[in-house]
Amino acid sequence: MRRRSCPGCGVPFQSDDPEAYGYVPAEVLARDEAALLCRRCFRLRHYGDAAGGPPALEAVRAAVGQAVKAADCVLLVADAFDFEASIAPPVRDLVRPPLVVAVNKVDLLPPRTPLPEVGRWAEGRLAAAGLPRAEVHLISARTGWGTRRLWERLAQRAGRGTVAVLGATNVGKSALLAHWVQAVGYQGPAPTVSPVPGTTLALLRLRLVQDGFTLLDTPGIPPPGRVSDRLCPECAKRVVPDRRLQGRLWQVAPGQAMMLGTLAVLEAAGPVPEGTVLIAYGAQGLPMHRTRTDRVEQLLARPPRSWADVPCQNCRARLAEAGCAEHRITLAHAHDLAIHGLGWVTLRGGPLDLRLRLPEGVHWTVRPNLLGPKDRWPAP
Ligand code: GDP
């Protein structure tokens, strides 16, 4: 259902006067997003001031640290699609027990994904990343799935105290809070940031009084190394999935490469055991194709041929200026190679030596597979 007023300030949306409260461009308003905010609240929330410009990481860290210190319980919101990026430092360094982790966007997982298995997988990944022991909830802020149960658990754990809500940018923290504001009933002062004297940021304090506890929202923490953060807003939108993921199969063969747009190139760097398959998961808007390795350079140098090519010419030029990096990775059966901010590939068969080409500074992680049979995992 279309929201008529901004959940940040309560002012009715309007698309006529960009200088007035409640302004949202008409095309954004038409998208009917659950997490829609007016331009003023969006800027306040994401950039700490209405003039725009991202806040310095140190200021974000300080604001989050302050909220975590004051809290009786910490809620970390992570992204099921980009899990590794959403628990990487500096996010992981800011959490402390008692910790609840909400793995958001599970609506993107393919149908019939066994969710209890995903929950155990997430627990394993959190432990491997050195996070404190946490209660894990799978949720979808978009559909509301799992959010009531999460709310009830927070109410139990916080009593009449405070829950600090933190997460990397774009994990869907605003969408979750907006969902709760709507579903639970919000009775406090308008939840728009008001600057704390002496800082460029403020904490957005929501008092969701229905169950007597306070949620302290915090500014989104920008994680380093995500492809999506290197792109213009249009290209970034195209690499973030919007519908259920569908794996795309690549029968690995010597002399062939797989290209994820022109953002990542994968090729076998050694012998390929028979029947080795990579299954790629990424946004529907991200073109993925196989090609001969001797054509890769040519394809990387070719300007985008249509609006459907990702990234656009401007992004390509910017990325080219920063340079690219080549990584050698050995991937074992039933493991994923996750490229932060882009997606992942799962290996069936193998083992496989891979050459991975990425824009300089983009991070990747090898992990046990998120989707598909969890057979033949090495003992922890
Ligand atoms: P924040 O930066 O953590 O506050 O993230 P936002 O709430 O602004 O969400 C970032 C993007 O993720 C937006 O495009 C949202 O529409 C999308 N998003 C948020 N929650 C969900 C979810 O549960 N499922 C899906 N598929 N997308 C979501």
Q: In which band, very low, low, confident or very high, does the pLDDT at 260 lie, cut at 50, 70 and 90?
A: very high
Q: What is the mean pLDDT of residues 264-281?
A: 95
| pLDDT exceeds 70 at position 47 | no
Instruction: State the pLDDT at residue 310.
Output: 86
Instruction: State the pLDDT at residue 309.
Output: 80
The reply to whether ligand 1 has any atom less than 6 angstroms from the CB of 229 is: no
Is 232 within 8 Å of 316 (Cβ atoms)?
Answer: no
Q: What is the mean pLDDT of residues 255-276?
A: 95
Q: What is the mean pLDDT of residues 78-93?
A: 96
Given phi > 0 = left and psi -120 to 50 = alpha, else beta, which region is 27?
Answer: alpha
Cα 36 to averaged position of ligand 1 atoms, centre (Å)? 10
User: Looking at ligand 1, which residue's alpha carbon is closest to its atom 2?
Assistant: 170
Instruction: State the pLDDT at residue 7.
Output: 64
Q: What is the mean pLDDT of residues 103-113?
A: 95
Q: What is the mean pLDDT of the chain?
A: 85
The amino acid that residue 132 corresponds to is P
Q: What is the mean pLDDT of residues 280-294?
A: 94
Instruction: Please identify, by atom number, the ligand 1 atom nearest to the C-alpha of residue 171.
Output: 3
| pLDDT exceeds 80 at position 237 | yes
The reply to whether ligand 1 has any atom less than 6 angstroms from the CB of 167 is: yes
Q: In which band, very low, low, confident or very high, does the pLDDT at 190 lie, cut at 50, 70 and 90?
A: very low
Instruction: State the pLDDT at residue 57.
Output: 78
The reply to whether ligand 1 has any atom less than 6 angstroms from the CB of 140 is: yes
User: At 65, which helix (H) or strand (E)?
Assistant: helix 57-70
Greater confidence, 9 or 149?
149
What percent of the chain clears pLDDT 70, i.e. is strictly above it?
A: 83
The reply to whether ligand 1 has any atom less than 6 angstroms from the CB of 173 is: yes
Cα 239 to averaged position of ligand 1 atoms, centre (Å)? 13
Q: List, in sequence order, every residue forming a beta bridge with 67; answer none if it has no partner.
A: none
């998120």: which residue's tokens?
370
Cα 172 to averaged position of ligand 1 atoms, centre (Å)? 3
Most confident range, picked from 79-83, 178-182, 211-215? 79-83
Instruction: Please identify, by atom number, the ligand 1 atom nearest to the C-alpha of residue 241.
Output: 26
The reply to whether ligand 1 has any atom less than 6 angstroms from the CB of 108 is: yes
Instruction: State the pLDDT at residue 160.
Output: 86
Instruction: State the pLDDT at residue 49.
Output: 53
The reply to whether ligand 1 has any atom less than 6 angstroms from the CB of 146 is: no
Instruction: State the pLDDT at residue 187.
Output: 53
Cα 359 to averaged position of ligand 1 atoms, centre (Å)? 25
Instruction: Please identify, by atom number, the ligand 1 atom nearest to the C-alpha of residue 46.
Output: 2
Instruction: State the pLDDT at residue 217.
Output: 83
Cα 27 to averaged position of ligand 1 atoms, centre (Å)? 18
Cα 79 to averaged position of ligand 1 atoms, centre (Å)? 9
d(CA 143, CA 152) in angstroms, rounded, equals 17
The reply to whether ligand 1 has any atom less than 6 angstroms from the CB of 169 is: yes
b/e map of 320-343 (b: 16 or more CB within 10 Å)? eeeebeeeeeebebbbbbbbbbbb
| pLDDT exceeds 90 at position 55 | no
The reply to whether ligand 1 has any atom less than 6 angstroms from the CB of 174 is: yes
Is 359 within 8 Å of 340 (Cβ atoms)?
Answer: no
Sign of CA dihedral 231, 234, 235, 240: positive
Instruction: State the pLDDT at residue 208.
Output: 62
| pLDDT exceeds 90 at position 252 | yes
Most confident range, picked from 5-9, 168-172, 183-187? 168-172
Q: In what order do the strands lie in the sheet with 364-368?
A: 248-251, 277-282, 343-348, 335-339, 364-368
User: Looking at ligand 1, which residue's alpha carbon is closest to its atom 6?
Assistant: 172
Q: Which of 98-107, 190-199, 317-326 has the lowest mean pLDDT?
A: 190-199
Rounded to two decimals, the pTM is 0.83
Is 58 within 8 Å of 313 (Cβ atoms)?
Answer: no
Q: In which band, very low, low, confident or very high, does the pLDDT at 350 lie, cut at 50, 70 and 90?
A: confident
